[in-house]
Amino acid sequence: MVEINRAEHWTSRVVGCGSALPEHRMTNHDIARMVDTTDEWITQRTGIKERRIAAQGENTSDLAIGAARAALNHAGIDAADVDLIVLATCTPDRTMPATAVRVQEAIGMQRGTAFDVQAVCSGFVFALSVADNMIRLGQARTALVIGAETMSRVVDWQDRNSCVLFGDGAGALVLRGERHEGGKPRGVLSTHLHSDGRYWDKIHTDGGVSSTQSAGKMHLEGRDVFLHAVVNLADASQEALDAHGLTQDDLDWIVPHQANQRIVQTLGGKLNFPMEKVVLTVGHHGNTSAASIPLALSEAVSDGRIKENDLVLTPAMGSGFTWGSALIRW
């Protein structure tokens, strides 16, 4: 355990980010050759034009490892300095062990701990919350927080309502515990998590190790998901702002879970927040579940949109229902 004086105020600074995507791009025209749909139909309803699909033999861990290495390189931190990996995924390589330990082995991290969390599309916010709290409690000093998915493995490619939505990919952040010595704290300011199991069947797979001995395929009730998503995402966003006495005018960016363009645009409208300050990557990534927020963060940092000291809000909602938000001072 890292020795930290509990009387001191520690924060989890974001010091690096990275991403990894499969090479294969699947366009709407490709999908239109598989099911009864068109590029126009998909684009109008989702805003998605293409998504990345993992190759045969390319696993969630491969994408997670790529994102982890990219994030460490961006941070200028050696893997030997990492003492925590929290990986969010609902599409692990295997039932056991955790995908996180595959990352741990691959990057050469030989101390600390590595484990998975599962909250589907909310997973990255949940993983970020766990890592942040472990750093604040002195249980870790440097953490890799990863969202990685191969959603194409659980998509029903005959269901045009769901197969058009999802893609594969991974994103990662490096968090570093630092003393807050006055002024505006930087890093993860707070996280806010929720779930409501009454709606577990609104997005689910029809399989599992215990029930069917197979992963199964995804089923979702789109209208119900949309209605709950726009309310829960807005509530989680407002909760984060209220916790710090802030308003939407104080935000520099919102980087939401990239479910589809309609949900994101509706969220912007409910918060009265300009869309030009919302990072939107769903058009070329699709819905990558737990990977969507770190993928979007990595892209926005790389292209210069998100800068040092920017205030960034990351709301998410997923199957369960689960939802939450994180407020980060970059």
**Residues assigned a catalytic role:** 121, 257, 287
Q: Is the peptide bond before 115 cis (omega within 30 degrees of 0)?
A: no
Q: In this structure, which amino acid lies at residue 260?
A: N
CA torsion through residues 281, 285, 286, 291, sign:
negative
Which residue in 186, 111, 123, 177 sits closest to 151, CA to CA? 123
Q: 246 is written with which tokens? A: 């802030």
CA torsion through residues 18, 155, 127, 309, sign:
positive
DSSP H or E stretch at residue 235: helix 222-243
Rounded Cα distance, 170 and 21, in Å: 7
Which residue is it, tokens 């293409």? Answer: 50
What is the 8-class DSSP label of residue 272?
A: T
Q: 174 is written with which tokens? A: 């490096």
Beta strand pairing status for 218-220 and 203-205?
Answer: antiparallel
According to DSSP, the residues that pair with 10 across neighbouring strands are 179
Q: 52 is written with which tokens? A: 């990345």
Rounded Cα distance, 330 and 196, in Å: 31
Helices (H) and strands (E) in the chain, counts: 10, 13
Taking the CA of residue 150 as centre, how many other CA atoms within 13 Å lie in the half-sphere pointing to its CB? 21
Rounded Cα distance, 142 and 82, in Å: 5
Rounded Cα distance, 160 and 298, in Å: 30
Rounded Cα distance, 175 and 96, in Å: 26
